[in-house]
Structure 1
Amino acid sequence: MTEHLGYWMRLVSNHVSFAFARRLEGMDVTVAEWVMLRELYATGPLAPNRLAGRMGMTRGAISKLADRLVAKALVTRSDDPKDGRAHSLALSEAGALLVPELARLADENDAAAFGCLTPDERAQIDRILKKVAAAQGLKGSPLT
């Protein structure tokens, strides 16, 4: 088993992901919520179906995430004036202020996990993983 590359990738991935989830607990945000906040921070307001496509999630999953973030006052819902059935999601002021702090935690998590690597080694791993992801047609955000 330990001769498989997938074993080592999963071992490291789990460690990095769980460490980040623990860091986020103190901010009352889950990893999935962080991904949505980061996406809205980068794009501005989006319709839920567009956000679902960008994140590689179902519209139902996006709706549940949005409900939680609206309840936490980090995201707002706005009705589309042209289509009463449609709406968009956007960061609230509190959400926009929180994203840079969460990004700092993500950077700290990466530094803690990968600080043992040289910049060249990090660049190689980054390039290789992106190549594998592209070859497999992987898109969206890794949430599980």
Structure 2
Amino acid sequence: MSTVSDLTAHTGYLLRMVSNAVSHEFARNVAGEGVTVAEWVMLRSLYGGGAIAPSALARKMGMTKGAISKLAERLLEKGLVERTENHDDRRGHSLSLSAAGSQKVPILATLADGNDMAFFSVLPPEKHAQLRALLQALIEKHGLTATPVD
């Protein structure tokens, strides 16, 4: 009979354990501001830029146009995103942050920064920098582009 490795022997399992802990706490924090993590990611992707077509935003975020449309509808209902019709193409439109959305992003960014600090401050700064560099190397090596939203 072959030996079956323990779950904790798998780096992916350990990464998922850490990722879940960080993500769940952040989700709880942003929920207090009335948004989901996926909505935060879209708001942050729109921040600092002008109006953008949903298809371009989908490419930028590595998501489907359908997923972007669902997120946009929720954010439109919350008054955090605006839709501008394209006068040259009646079927086309662009998305941008509303004034309320522009005000909300820095608040959410502060929560994200605080969440990272709370979780990763147990590491000495040089170890935290090493961890970030290693994760970035894996992202680049495997061509990962999809924005994690859940």
Query: Could you say which TM-score interval applies, normalised by the shorter chain?
Result: over 0.9
Asked whether 1:102 is paired with 2:108, we answer: yes
**Distance apart, 1:37 and its partner CA:** 0.2
Decide which of 121, 130, 134 is 1:128's aligned counterpart: 134
Task: Rate the CA distance shift 1:42–1:122 in 2: closer, same or farther, 3 A.
Answer: farther
**Distance apart, 1:96 and its partner CA:** 0.1
Using the size of structure 1 for normalisation, the TM-score is: 0.97
Query: Structure 1 counterpart of 2:101, which letter?
Result: G
In structure 2, the residue matched to 1:7 is: 13
Query: Structure 1 counterpart of 2:128, which letter?
Result: R
In structure 1, the residue matched to 2:43 is: 37
Aligned length: 144
The CA RMSD over aligned residues, in Å, is 0.9
Partner of 1:117: helix, strand, or coil? coil
Distance in 2 separating the partners of 1:32 and 1:42: 18
In structure 1, the residue matched to 2:76 is: 70
Runs of 4+ in 1 over 6 A off after TM superposition: none
Partner of 1:78: helix, strand, or coil? strand
**Distance apart, 1:26 and its partner CA:** 0.7
Q: What are the ranges of 5 or more consecutive residues in structure 2 without an aligned counterpart?
A: 1-6
Partner of 1:85: helix, strand, or coil? coil
- The 5-angstrom pairing of residues 17-28 of structure 1 reads 17-28=23-34
> Cα deviations across residues 64-106 of structure 1 (Å, max 9, x unaligned)?
1000000000000001122221100000000000000000000
Using the size of structure 2 for normalisation, the TM-score is: 0.93
The structure number with the bigger radius of gyration is 2
Aligned-residue identity in percent: 53
Partner of 2:92: helix, strand, or coil? strand
Distance in 2 separating the partners of 1:4 and 1:17: 20
